[in-house]
Amino acid sequence: MQALLDFTTGISVVLILMVLVSIRRQHIRVEYSVTWFGAALTLLLLSRSPGAVSKLAGALNISDPPLALVSIAGCLFLLVLFRLSVILSNLKDANIALAQRVAILEYHLSAHEEETARS
Amino acid sequence: MNAEKLLIIVPAFNEEAAVGHVVREIREVTPGVPVLVIDDCSTDQTAAVARAAGAKVMSLPHHLGLGGAVQAGYKLAFELGYQYVIRVDGDGQHDPRYITAIFEALRNSGCQMVIGSRFLEGKFDQATLVRALGIRFFRLVLRPILGRPVHDPTSGFVGVNRDALQVFSRSFPLEYPEIEALVVLQRRKFRFLEVPCRMRRRMAGRSTITVFKSLYYIVHVLLGVFVNVLKYERKRRRG
């Protein structure tokens, strides 16, 4: 149990540092880092509170606290991935609309230029 | 045909070998009707060949896929005030001689969409076995949703009027749009009609459809259909 908690602490700290460095280098925008921070902090707090993990395992009716911790971590990352899919879908929609608008405007522009050249 | 009312759109991606012939055929059959090729960011000479053949060309800044390209054409047509738009694919499979029949049906039937159907007379001889099975499957799925049979739900040889154009310029399925578009229209109480037509083999290039892509297609389209059904059912209940 202790080994797993220490490992989770290590992973959480690494994740928090990675996100911080990425924000500083502008590889990730602040608004998209919030969910990663939330997930990493939750894991950090849980990994430093074995009592809380045991209580959570009891509440979830999971007999093995380490298994509960792994399950919670898995769920957190699933939530993060789901949120990213939503963001990605919105961005794709916006990107398609933008590309279509650019194409339409370029079409209007070239039609206007052709008319001007004729007259 | 009234050139002020009708626009023919030709979505094309890397179709330099076929698109010129397609445009010339369309112009022969429908003189005076503007032809707009939507170049989906081809890496070959599609746009130049289409222009040389007498089409107007709208070039997308990056590859959007079939639905994105067709919707761009619908948006432009709606902005320019066209009453009818007929889509003819750039690979030469749609025979332009049937454009007139689709246009007449659009004008006279009062339907918002007219589909050029390969199988209206029940013949499946133009389709491969897998495709024929897929089409039969979607016919069965769509029958209760649309409340009437549709013979060729995967046909992209379609004409729409301005009402449908307005809907599609706001919302149009981006991947594999044909079947979902039917559901979108039906949920708005719009009507469609099928007219018989023949389709040909592609003039050049090879189809990129594989077994995996066919399975992906089925799952994707089914999901899209049911999401659309649920979405409009909820709206209807809310009044």
pLDDT at B125 over 60: no
Q: What is the pLDDT along chain A (119 residues), one digit of tens a residue?
A: 788 888 989 999 999 999 999 999 989 888 888 888 998 999 899 889 888 888 888 998 888 888 888 888 899 899 989 999 999 999 999 999 999 999 999 999 999 998 899 88
Q: List the domain range (segments joined by +) for residue A59.
A: 2-118
pLDDT at B162 over 60: yes
Q: Which residue from B56, B64, B79 is facing A96, i.e. has the nearest CB?
A: B64
Structure tokens at B235: 């709206």
Q: Mean pLDDT throughout B199-221?
A: 74
pLDDT at B236 over 70: no
pLDDT at B47 over 70: yes
Dihedral of alpha carbons B154, B159, B164, B170, sign: positive
Inter-chain touch A100–B174, beta carbons under 8 Å: no
> What pLDDT sits at residue B4?
61
pLDDT digits over B10-40, tens only?
A: 999 999 999 999 999 999 999 999 999 999 9
B155: left (phi over 0), alpha (psi -120 to 50) or beta: beta
pLDDT at B129 over 80: no
The single-letter DSSP state of residue B86 is: E
What is the domain count for chain A? 1
Residues of A in contact with B75 (CB under 8 A): 100, 104
Residues of B in contact with A107 (CB under 8 A): 56, 58, 76
Write down the mean pLDDT value for chain B.
88
Structure tokens at A30: 């602040």
Whether the full predicted model's pTM is greater than 0.95, yes or no, is no
